Amino acid sequence: MKKLCLLGLTIGLASHSVLADTKPAAIENKDAFVSNLMKQMTLDEKIGQLRLISIGPEMPRELIRQEIAAGKIGGTFNSITRPENRPMQDAAMRSRLKIPMFFAYDVIHGHRTIFPIPLALASSWDMDAIGLSGRIAAKEAAADSLDITFAPMVDISRDARWGRTSEGFGEDTYLVSRIAQVMVKAYQGTGLIGAENIMASVKHFALYGAVEGGRDYNIVDMSPAKMYQDYLPPYRAAIDAGAGGVMVALNSINGVPATANTWLMKDLLRKEWGFKGLAVSDHGAIFELINHGVAHDGREAAKLAIKAGIAMSMNDKLYATELPSLLKSGEIQQSDIDSAVREVLGAKYDMGLFKDPYLRIGKAEDDPADTYAESRLHRAEARDVARRSMVLLKNHNETLPLKKTAKIVLVGPLAKAPIDMMGSWAAAGRPAQSVTLFDGMTRALGDQASLTYARGANITSDKKVVDYLNFLNFDAPEVVDDPRSAQVMIDEAVKAAQQADVIVAAVGESRGMSHESSSRTDLNIPSNQRDLIKALKATGKPLVLVLMNGRPLTILEENEQADAILETWFSGTEGGNAIADVLFGDYNPSGKLPISFPRSVGQIPTYYNHLTIGRPFTPGKPGNYTSQYFDDTTGPLYPFGYGLSYTRFSLADMALSSTTLNKTGKIDARVTVKNTGKRDGETVVQLYLQDVTGSMIRPIKELKNFQKVMLTAGEQKVIHFNIEENDLKFYNNQLKYAAEPGTFNVQIGLDSADVTQQSFELL
Ligand code: BGC
């Protein structure tokens, strides 16, 4: 007790830190430190720590500072510079207990330097490149005084209608889990306490990607086995990698909103998985419990959320207004509040803020003279990561790479689109600093440039869509139409195309079309752009489509029309340069799809690893009474794991070291991969496993490992994969995680569809 009082006194006198003069033992012991602090806190101060507010341009800063100084706010998000955040931390240092604030932001794919969108990062299958993007994002964010990001977003998405597909890493549990780990480690560095590290809060816990029909914020209804098997592992991977935070999903799960879900937040997350970090609600989610129809007013909403274990409430005042009287009436207990406060203080401790509240804010004299200075960007890294994330879908007659001496016409609404290039959730990225495709190609061509440009089409001619996309952008509209008629623009583009040797058309979605609240019923390229493509095709000139989009699109027709298709997603600040590198062959594309491309919306979901069925369709055989749609070809247009290169690769001599595996043993699966073409290049060798017969239905195949391999022209390498019992385990209907003896097929391929197979028995 004496020590506590001393601590209180010290706090009152210390210049910055709560612990400036305390004995080292106190701060080195997190639990003791947090407990000591909590003993000094009033109820109001405790509840204040649970409040996370968004800082908007219109908000009265003086009032915010007063509230912070009164101990009524625990953290902010959306205030993202040192000069903005320092006065708030100063205010916290004026508060009675000087508990530091933390500053959060959605650093999703870069902070100032914008890297490709997460779906694109996943397309690289390159863990070093992905990790580099996260590490740089963390460093840039920390240098701007940020302590925590609401990322990585690891929601498995198998329904491309969902706009947030762009923000995740695709459809596959194994790949997304690997990336989840990489991203957490990249953000948090070797340990959280460090001026260049930020805390990761994995989101959206849980199952947000499975919203019914791909409609944002919709319900999720899912069997426990499917959850455990397919959807939960990426969150778990992030937590096992040390993620300090979890952001709770907006959706309900089997009838209970995540925000009020004690099974999810307590039984699973904390008891089963041992999570000890900070659980933050999503924006306004506690209030939305009323809309979900599980709370009749704010009071009940606050009660449900705190009882479920939501420690911090994002952007509402319900905890502040309701918790005191809920406590008084005995509807909640002091321990409910205390556990939440412990999480917040624990996270601040882990961020190093008690040791130094200004750890990431630094000294005013060290503030960057220009927040947006070019020197603060990491362009070279962004360019390299971006080109690794592009997927060559088609390359008829080696249309690509383009010759720099060719007469090229560049068309399309996305050819000069600096905002779109960054993709959605582009943090503090500035459109003015992003390289458009036109700029990138012009630079790549230098003096040899023979590049003409014609816009050819707007993003869409549907005014309602344009209005929708521009609705929330107060500063400047995101989608600006060329006022000319569609026909005039097409005519101009066709005329230019007729003079050229080759056409490059940058088509697809604006970035806002693949974003939160941007679910679509139709995954076609907008019809006016398709009219443009048709007209370009009619010129007879070789046609290269550069796709920009945040989700798989249905491109059946365009796939026929185009000679080459490069999927570039939204590739970030250096996008234009990176795309030019690929188009001109300065970089040989190596990306592979992390999500299947459906032939039509009606086929969704098209994920590759679906469960085995009783009446499967067999390609080449009549389809009657088999599981298929009779009016179209069965299977995706482009399968998971697919992607071409400017060289060719072949696989041969697949072999297993044994045809049996015992529970403690290992099998070596090997294959020879050869670069049979004329260029150096990289490919991804993928290992899939199938449990042929199980106590419950098993997927037709599941990715279990992969290696990205660089091979010079003509080179070959033997690739080895280790298979152990652990790789064969799954959650059965009783949610027991175990491998079952029997036959397993091992498939190795350069995509999920085209594989060679061998089998073994698990004894
Ligand atoms: C999103 C979250 C995001 C939060 C704060 C919400 O609308 O669902 O992913 O972190 O806003 O910006």
Which of ligand 1's atoms lies nearest the C-alpha of 247?
Answer: 10
- Locate 115 and state its tokens: 């890297």
- Cis before 151 (ω within 30): no
What is the CA(468)–ligand 1 centre distance, in A? 19
Percent of the chain with pLDDT over 90: 93
pLDDT at 199 over 70: yes
Average of per-residue pLDDT across 510-515: 97
Question: Residue 283: CB within 6 Å of ligand 1?
Answer: yes
pLDDT at 474: 66
pLDDT at 418: 97
pLDDT at 459 over 70: yes
Q: Which region among 17-26, 410-419, 434-443, 684-693 has the lowest average model confidence (pLDDT)?
A: 17-26
pLDDT at 8: 33
Question: Residue 574: CB within 6 Å of ligand 1?
Answer: no
Q: To which H or E segment does residue 118 belong? A: helix 118-124
Which of ligand 1's atoms lies nearest the C-alpha of 151?
Answer: 10
Superfamily of domain 649-762, CATH level 4? Immunoglobulins (2.60.40.10)
DSSP 303-350: HHHHHHT--BEES--HHHHHHHHHHHTTSS-HHHHHHHHHHHHHHHHH
Question: Residue 126: CB within 6 Å of ligand 1?
Answer: no
Helices (H), 41-98: 43-49, 61-69, 82-94
What confidence tier does 472 reach under pLDDT thresholds 50, 70, 90?
Answer: confident
pLDDT at 190: 85
- Locate 732 and state its tokens: 């059965």
What is the CA(105)–ligand 1 centre distance, in A? 9
Dist CA 665 CA 648 (whole Å): 35
**DSSP tag of 229:** I
Question: Residue 516: CB within 6 Å of ligand 1?
Answer: yes
What confidence tier does 694 reach under pLDDT thresholds 50, 70, 90?
Answer: very high
Which of ligand 1's atoms lies nearest the C-alpha of 203?
Answer: 9
Place of tokens 């659980």: 279
Q: Which of 66, 63, 74 is closest to 37 using CA atoms? A: 74
The tens digit of pLDDT for each residue in 335-380 reads: 999 999 999 999 999 999 999 999 999 999 999 999 999 999 999 9
Question: Residue 203: CB within 6 Å of ligand 1?
Answer: yes
State the pairing for strand pair 148-149/199-205: parallel
What is the CA(117)–ligand 1 centre distance, in A? 16
Question: Residue 106: CB within 6 Å of ligand 1?
Answer: yes
Give, using CA atoms, the residue closest to atom 8 of ligand 1. Answer: 282
Average of per-residue pLDDT across 65-78: 98
pLDDT at 192: 82
pLDDT at 191: 80
Average of per-residue pLDDT across 239-262: 98
Q: Which region among 228-232, 361-365, 467-471 has the lowest average model confidence (pLDDT)?
A: 467-471
Contact 651, 683 (CB under 8 A): no
> At 723, is the secondary structure helix, strand, or coil?
strand
- Locate 196 and state its tokens: 């260049």
The tens digit of pLDDT for each residue in 636-671 reads: 999 999 999 999 999 999 999 999 999 999 999 999
pLDDT at 25 over 70: no
Dist CA 180 CA 177 (whole Å): 5
Name 77's bridge partners. Answer: 54, 104
Place of tokens 């993003």: 459
Q: Output the CA angle 568-571-575, nearest 5 degrees.
A: 100
pLDDT at 194: 93
- Locate 131 and state its tokens: 């990790």
Average of per-residue pLDDT across 204-214: 98
C-alpha distance from residue 434 to each of 375, 437, 473, 627 (Å):
14, 10, 19, 46
pLDDT at 4 over 80: no
Contact 502, 542 (CB under 8 A): yes
pLDDT at 136 over 50: yes
Q: Output the CA angle 652-648-757, nearest 5 degrees.
A: 30
Chain centroid to Cα 358, Å, comes to: 29
DSSP 552-565: ----HHHHHH-SEE
Contact 155, 208 (CB under 8 A): yes
What ranges do the domains of the chain cover? Answer: 382-603, 649-762
- Pocket-testing residue among 106, 117, 162, 278, ligand 1, by greatest number of atoms within 8 A of Cβ: 106
State the pairing for strand pair 730-731/737-738: antiparallel
The tens digit of pLDDT for each residue in 672-689 reads: 999 999 999 999 999 999
Average of per-residue pLDDT across 45-67: 95
pLDDT at 485: 97
Give, using CA atoms, the residue closest to atom 2 of ligand 1. Answer: 282
| Radius of gyration for the chain, computed over Cα atoms and rounded to the nearest angstrom | 27
Question: Residue 185: CB within 6 Å of ligand 1?
Answer: no
Contact 112, 167 (CB under 8 A): no
Q: Output the CA angle 106-110-112, nearest 5 degrees.
A: 95
- Locate 711 and state its tokens: 């091979």
State the pairing for strand pair 649-656/742-749: unpaired
Q: Output the CA angle 730-734-738, nearest 5 degrees.
A: 30
pTM beyond 0.85:
yes
What confidence tier does 3 reach under pLDDT thresholds 50, 70, 90?
Answer: very low
pLDDT at 19 over 70: no
Question: Residue 282: CB within 6 Å of ligand 1?
Answer: yes
Dist CA 498 CA 658 (whole Å): 60
The tens digit of pLDDT for each residue in 280-337 reads: 999 999 999 999 999 999 999 999 999 999 999 999 889 999 999 999 999 999 999 9
pLDDT at 24 over 60: no
Contact 222, 231 (CB under 8 A): yes
7 vs 753, residue with greater confidence:
753
Q: Which CATH number fits domain 382-603: 3.30.450.40, 3.40.50.300, 3.50.50.60, 3.40.50.1700?
A: 3.40.50.1700
What is the chain's mean pLDDT, rounded? 95
Contact 628, 427 (CB under 8 A): no
- Pocket-testing residue among 52, 78, 150, ligand 1, by greatest number of atoms within 8 A of Cβ: 150
Question: Residue 150: CB within 6 Å of ligand 1?
Answer: yes
The tens digit of pLDDT for each residue in 428-453 reads: 999 999 999 999 999 999 987 789 99
Dist CA 355 CA 494 (whole Å): 64
Dist CA 615 CA 628 (whole Å): 9
- Pocket-testing residue among 250, 283, 515, ligand 1, by greatest number of atoms within 8 A of Cβ: 283
pLDDT at 12: 32
Report, as residue numbers or ranges, the catalytic residues.
282
What confidence tier does 57 reach under pLDDT thresholds 50, 70, 90?
Answer: confident
The contacts of residue 658 (CB under 8 Å, 6+ apart) are: 665, 667, 760
pLDDT at 20 over 50: no
- Locate 84 and state its tokens: 């903005």
Give, using CA atoms, the residue closest to atom 5 of ligand 1. Answer: 283
